[in-house]
Structure 1
C-alpha cells in the first residue's frame, strides 16, 4: 500500500465518522474526504486534526437539522461516495421491505443521506452480528431499502477479516457496498495476505520503546530503525513518535500479568489468581508471532506480548493500521475509545481502491451523456 495514492478526485461524505478510520483508508486510496459528521466531540477533534483538507461538524444524525448542517458544509460540492459506520443498537424490525421505522434513526440517517445526495456508491460498515440479527431479516431489510433507491447492494458473504488485508489484527467486520444500478454489482476485494504471511504483533510494534521503566511522553523519539516492512510503512510520514504513553498499573495487576504466558489468558493462571476477571478476553497476552485479538475500547483486558502492561495508544493504533503520523487527541480514555471504535484504515483502503473502477465507469457514463446532449452543429 502506498501511504498516499494519487488523488482521483472522487468526493466522500463520512457519517458517524468517529476519529476517521474509514476516511483515513479512503484518503490513502486517493479519495477527497469533504466532510466528517459525528456527535462525539473528542473524536471529531482527532478527525479534524488529522484530516486537514476535510471539514468536520458535530451533529445528531437522528435529526433533520443535521442534514441542513451537512448541506451548508458541503455547499455546491457533489458527493460521489457516502461511507458510514452506524451503531446497530436497538435495531427494530417492522417488515422485510425497508428500514423506515423511526426507531432505526441511525441507519435511517444513511438512507436519508443516500436519497438526498444521490452518490454513485455508498459503504456501510458494521459488526458481524448484523448478518444474523432477526435471522437475517435486518440484512434483507437494508438491502431492499437501498435497492429501492436504485442501487445494487453487495454484502460480505462472511465478515472480512482484517488480517487478510495486511492488518496485524484478527478483527472481523461486515460491509454493505452499494453502487448505482447501471454500474453492475460491486465485487469485494480479494485478500492480500494469508495465514502464512499475516502481519504479526512483533512485526507491528517491536520498534517502539518498552515503557517498562518509564511511562513515556506524548511526543518522543524513535529509539531504533524500523524492524519490518510494516513498521516502515507505518513510519513513512512520521519523524516523531506520538501517543506512546504507558499505563501505570497497581502491584496486584502487574503480579497477575506477569504470570500470563505469551498468547495465554485467564485460563492459564494458577487457581485463585486473577479471579476478578473471568471471561474469554480476560487477562489475554498477545502472541508475538500472531496478529492481535480485536482491539477493544476499554484496553484493560489485553497485554503486550513481551512487556507486563496494557498496550499504549500508539501500539493499538499500529495494530489497527493507523500510520504514525495519525495523532489521537483527548483524554486517554477518549483516545482508547477512538482507536477501539475505528475501522482499520488498511482494510478500508482495499475496499476503496476496489471501488475506484466502478466510479471511473460512472464518470465515463456521465461523459457520454454530456456528449450526446451537445446539439448538432
Structure 2
C-alpha cells in the first residue's frame, strides 16, 4: 500500500482566467500545480505569461469568444483540477465610479460558465474588497449563490498580503469553492496570516541598484541581506526591468522634501501646488510594508531615493522573483505588475488546496485497496 502511494505522481492542472502577467498561476506552479490554459485579452500580459514558461499555454482572447466547444475539447485532453482567476476589478473597485451597471461587473458570469462546464474540484476567484459591499453585497451574495448552485462549498475571506510575507499592504477578497461531491461537507480554511510575517520595503528592495547614485541598473548593489531577498533573487545574476523614471529637477527636489513614510502633505503647500501634484503622493516607509502597488506607479516614491520605484522594485514588492521578466513598454510593465495577484500569497493558498487534495487522494486509494 505505502509503496503504491509513493509511486503515484500527482498531476494537478489548472485554468487561469483573466490571468494577466501570471502572478496567480506562478504561485500555484510554485506549489506544484501545472497550468493547462491561461486566458487574457491583453496581448502584452499574455506575452509576459508565455515568456516566463516553457509550456506556453497563454492565449490572448476575449473570454466570451472561448466557447463551450473549445472548452470541452480542452478538458477532453486535460484532467483539470482547479480554476483560478480574478475578473477585471474596475466595476467593483472602491476607487472610481463603482458603477453597478458596468459591463465588467458581469465578467464573473463567464467565470461561472467555465466552472459549470469544467466541473473542477476547486475554484478560486480573487477580486478587490469593494466587491463585498457594492450594491449592498449583491455581487458577493450572487457569487456564493451561483457557485453553491453548481455544487460547491463556497467560503470567502479578505486577505492582507503583508500578513503572508508579501511586502505590501494589499487587501483582496478570495472566494474558494470546493466541489461537495469530492470534499463532502468540507469548506476551505484559509491559511492563517499574521502581521509578524510582514516584510518592510527596505527589507524587500535594499539590495537592488541605487539608481539615484548612478549604479548600473542591472547589477545588484549587495549580496542578499535577508531571506526575502534571497528568495526573490533565486537564480538571477542580473537585474531586469529596472529602468529608472527620469523626473525633472523640480520634481526630484520636491520629492526630496517628503520624509520616509510621509506624504507630500508633510511639506509646505507652496511646493506641491505649483505643479498640482496629487495630494495622495507618499514616500514608502522603509520600516513597513508598502502601500498597494497600483497600475499607474506614480502615487508613491522610493523610501530613500527621489523617484518612483522601478518596475523591478514594484515587482519585488508584489513578490515576483527577479527572473520573472515583464515584456512590453515600461508603462505596460507597470500595469502588468500592479494588476497581478502576489505569487507568494497565491502559493500559500495553493499549498492549502494541495493538502485537501492529498486527503481526498489518500481516501480514494484506501477505497481501492
Task: Answer yes or no: same fold by TM over 0.5.
Answer: yes
Q: Distance in 2 between matches of 1:121 and 1:347?
A: 17
- The Cα of 1:254 is off from its aligned counterpart by 0.9
2:163 and 2:197 in contact (8 A); partners too: no
| In structure 1, distance between residues paired with 2:78 and 2:31 | 20
In structure 1, the partner of 2:239 is: 241
Q: In 1, distance between residues paired with 2:343 and 2:68?
A: 26
What is residue 165 of structure 2 aligned with on the other side? Answer: 166
Does the Cα contact within 8 Å between 1:61 and 1:67 map onto a contact in 2? no
Question: Any unmatched runs of 5+ in structure 2?
Answer: 1-8, 93-101
Secondary structure of the residue aligned to 1:242 is: coil
Identify the residue that residue 62 of structure 1 maps to in structure 2.
64
State the distance in 2 between where 1:16 and 1:151 align: 21
SS class of match (2:79)? coil
**Structure 1 position 105, deviation (Å):** 4.1
How far apart, CA to CA, are the structure 2 residues paired with 1:267 and 1:86?
35
Secondary structure of the residue aligned to 2:173 is: strand
1:122-143 superposed Cα distances (whole Å, 9 cap, x missing partner): 0000000111111112111100
Q: Secondary structure at the match of 2:167?
A: coil
Q: Deviations over 1:93-114 (max 9, x none)?
A: xxxxxxxx98754111111110
State the partner residue of 1:175: 174
Q: Once the 2 structures are TM-superposed, how far is the Cα of residue 68 of structure 1 from its aligned partner?
A: 4.3
| Residue aligned with 2:229, SS | helix
Q: Which residue of 2 aligns with 1:151?
A: 152
Query: 8 Å contact 2:295–2:335 — kept in the other structure?
Result: yes
Q: 1:215 to 1:38 in 2, by over 3 A?
A: farther
Q: Closer, same or farther in 2 for the Cα pair 1:82/1:257, shift >3 Å?
A: same
Shift of 1:70: 4.5
Local SS of the residue matching 2:257: coil
Alpha-carbon displacement from aligned partner over 1:204-232 (angstroms, at most 9, x marks no partner): 00001111144855xx2323211111101
Change (3 A) 1:103 1:44: closer
Q: Distance in 1 between matches of 2:104 and 2:246?
A: 42
Secondary structure, counterpart of 1:241 in structure 2 = coil
Aligned residue number for residue 219 of structure 2:
221
C-alpha RMSD of the superposition: 2.1
Q: Secondary structure at the match of 1:37?
A: strand
Return the offset for 1:319: 0.5
Is the Cα–Cα contact under 8 Å of residues 34 and 54 in structure 1 kept in the other structure? no
Distance 1:104 1:294 in 2: 22
Moved segments of 4+, more than 6 Å = none
Change (3 A) 1:324 1:102: closer
CA contact (8 A) 1:163 1:199 kept: yes
The residue that corresponds to 2:95 in the other structure is: none
Q: Matches of 2:53 and 2:129 in 1, distance apart? A: 28
Correspondence 1:277-356 to 2 at 5 A: 277-279=277-279, 281-282=280-281, 284-356=282-354
Contact 1:162 1:171 in 2 (8 A): yes
Aligned partners of 2:89 and 2:104 also within 8 Å: no
Q: Is 1:15 aligned to residue 17 of structure 2?
A: yes
The answer to whether residue 28 in structure 2 is matched with residue 29 in structure 1 is no
1:34 touches 1:74 (CA, 8 Å); kept in 2?
no
Q: 1:88 to 1:236 in 2, by over 3 A?
A: closer
CA deviation map 1:77-120 (0-9, x unaligned): 111000011024447xxxxxxxxx98754111111110111100
Say which is worse superposed, 101-110 or 34-43, in terms of deviation. Answer: 101-110
